[in-house]
Amino acid sequence: MKKFLQEFKEFALKGNVMDMAVGVIIGAAFGNIVTALTEDFINPLIACIGGAEVAGRIKLGDTGQYLNWGHFVTAIINFLIMAFCIFLMVKAVNKVMTIGKKKEEEKPAEPPKEEVLLTEIRDLLKEKK
């Protein structure tokens, strides 16, 4: 049992697991920000410009059931905003990671061994003449 707990402790305290936990927490908070942006700013703008009710719903017959298409549109807008922001963040991180690295100078490729041997043979033949 002690070994099992030790293995779990090593796993839980690894850098990757901790980084992932922080990422999930920040991602959830970022999701709330995007949802608020969409519902409080973007949806009213769409409603003002297009005259469409983004939080709309359609009544399905006399059953009292509604088809809430507005929530679906809001979820799509949230997804697109989050995907775009994540794309920009990944692009920025990749750019920052390459700033510190110098481009390695390309070394001239060494000729194949056959070519080196043929060159040596040629030089030896020239010396004999």
Q: What is the pLDDT of residues 58-105, one digit of tens each?
A: 777 777 787 877 778 777 887 888 788 878 888 887 888 777 666 655
Q: Is the dihedral of CA 80, 82, 85, 87 positive or negative?
A: negative
Which fold, 2-100?
1.10.1200
The interaxial angle of helices 69-99 and 43-50, nearest 10 deg, is 120
Separation of alpha carbons 81 and 87, rounded Å? 10
pLDDT band at residue 32 under the 50/70/90 scheme: confident
Domain boundaries, the chain: 2-100
pTM for the whole thing? 0.47
Contact between residue 74 and residue 38 where contact means Cβ atoms under 8 Å apart: yes
